[in-house]
């Protein structure tokens, strides 16, 4: 490949090998080189809900974990500096309103500049994927597919966000990435702070960092990493209006005083590939990372544990394991993964748990086009989005294709 695609697309390429995508479109422009790249993907999803959250079946046609995207980048070398910009536009297949003239939104998740040199590293300023948790999502096999969260529509599903790792998210940031010293490297940055519903006037920054080591031998490649995050939240008041939950249970308006606290998190992970086999192991632990609730809406897509900065300094932990095998000669990658995320808000109601099994087959019909089939079994327990404890399952069959260009 002679192009590094936009970060999300590059993650899929790294996870599935060079056959997952071809080079982007390279355009010389004077002293600059402009490159275009991205993907279009669409899946049919049949989701069956059960348990005391819901009991129905939905059928959707929508994009998967990786929204369809167009990335526009440009780079040059000036005054002994490598200078670059990147804009990436994301959208989905779902029409939004459920009608052909629906209003699916355009989301610009990447908009940054960078400058640096191989001798001392790179500085990035703008919006891009966060540092903490980024390797977890970029190593997820469902980046080429759907995973959990199908059935609710929108421009993206969840893969195993919230059932194995926290969402790295796309954040305003100023960050630094070191050179590669015989496989070792690090990155660190200040990021736009999250607000948790109580500290609406919070102007604190978040801080993230990562240490990594990449290794390669004749038939074995791999990576190990360790990353962390911290952010301070001020005291405030959270007000919940009276209403009726998805089970029809009424609840009264509540105003809750929230003490100030500091979100902290750490993760560790590793992956290795050899002779067609791939293995990923990942674990995270922290406080104040998650809302501990699915916050799903009418279709109950079971996407809990995805929000940083809940309104208390609860305990959060989780992880996932993943195994894949590429069939020689055919190129089809078969994979299976299991993951779980837990949040205990220390309110006496126990832990909110979101876990899932996912199996998938990813076949490169051409060097640009992959056919995908997945089955996801997702379960949540003790969901605080309801006046009474909510438990339920979502089982999804997904069939579709993703095309890189």
The answer to whether position 1 is within a domain reads: no
Most confident segment among 63-67, 303-307, 350-354: 63-67
Most confident segment among 143-152, 164-173, 367-376: 367-376
The answer to whether position 55 is within a domain reads: yes
**Alpha-carbon gap, residue 241 to 243, rounded angstroms:** 6
16, pLDDT greater than 50: no
The answer to whether position 2 is within a domain reads: no
Q: What is residue 305's predicted lDDT score, i.e. its pLDDT?
A: 39
Of 78, 86, 79, 77, the C-alpha closest to 114 is 86
- Residue 134 parent element (H or E): helix 134-138
How many structural domains compose the chain?
A: 1
Q: Is the pTM of this model over 0.95?
A: no
The answer to whether position 278 is within a domain reads: yes
**CA distance between the termini of the chain:** 12
Measured over the CA atoms of residue 384, residue 199, residue 127 and residue 70, the dihedral's sign is: positive
The answer to whether position 352 is within a domain reads: yes
Q: Identify the domain containing residue 62 by its residue range.
A: 7-404
Report yes or no: 314 and 343 within 8 Å, Cβ to Cβ: yes
Of 325, 334, 337, the C-alpha closest to 275 is 325
**Alpha-carbon gap, residue 277 to 138, rounded angstroms:** 17
Q: Which CATH number goes with the domain that contains 281? A: 2.40.160.10
Partners of 244 in beta bridges? 250
């Amino acid at each position: 490949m002679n192009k590094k695609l936009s970060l999300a697309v590059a993650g899929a390429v790294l996870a599935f090998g060079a056959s997952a995508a071809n080079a982007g479109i390279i355009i010389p422009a004077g002293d600059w080189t402009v490159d275009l790249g991205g993907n279009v993907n669409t899946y049919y999803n049949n989701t069956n809900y059960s348990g005391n959250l819901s009991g129905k079946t939905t059928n959707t046609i929508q994009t998967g974990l990786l929204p369809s995207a167009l990335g526009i980048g440009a780079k040059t070398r000036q005054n002994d500096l490598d200078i670059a910009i990147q804009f990436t536009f994301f959208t989905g297949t779902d029409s939004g309103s459920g009608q052909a003239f629906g209003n699916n939104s355009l989301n610009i998740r990447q908009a940054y500049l960078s400058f640096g040199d191989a001798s001392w590293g790179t500085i990035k300023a703008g919006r891009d994927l966060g540092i903490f948790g980024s390797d977890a999502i970029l190593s997820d096999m469902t980046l080429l597919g759907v995973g959990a969260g199908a059935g609710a529509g929108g421009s993206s599903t969840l893969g195993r966000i919230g059932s194995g790792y926290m969402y790295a998210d796309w954040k305003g940031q100023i960050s630094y990435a070191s050179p590669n010293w015989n496989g070792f490297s690090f990155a660190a940055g200040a990021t736009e702070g999250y607000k948790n519903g109580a500290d609406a006037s919070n102007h604190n920054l978040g801080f993230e960092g990562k240490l990594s080591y990449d290794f390669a031998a004749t038939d074995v490649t791999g990576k190990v990493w360790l990353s962390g995050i911290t952010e301070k939240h001020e005291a405030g008041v959270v007000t919940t209006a009276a209403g009726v939950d998805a089970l029809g249970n009424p609840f009264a308006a509540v105003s809750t005083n929230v003490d100030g606290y500091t979100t902290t998190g750490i993760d560790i992970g590793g992956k290795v590939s050899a002779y067609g086999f791939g293995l990923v192991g990942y674990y995270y632990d922290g406080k104040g990372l998650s809302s501990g609730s699915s916050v799903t809406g009418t279709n109950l897509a079971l996407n809990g544990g995805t929000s940083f900065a809940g309104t208390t300094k609860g305990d959060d932990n989780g992880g996932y394991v993943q195994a894949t095998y590429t069939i020689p000669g055919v190129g089809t990658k078969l994979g299976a993964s299991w993951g779980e995320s837990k949040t205990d808000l220390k309110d006496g109601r126990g832990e909110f748990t979101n876990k899932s099994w996912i199996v998938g087959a990813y076949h490169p019909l051409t060097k640009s086009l992959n056919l995908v089939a997945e089955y996801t079994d997702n379960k949540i327990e003790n969901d605080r989005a309801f006046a009474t404890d909510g438990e339920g399952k979502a089982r999804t069959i997904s069939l579709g294709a993703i095309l890189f260009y």
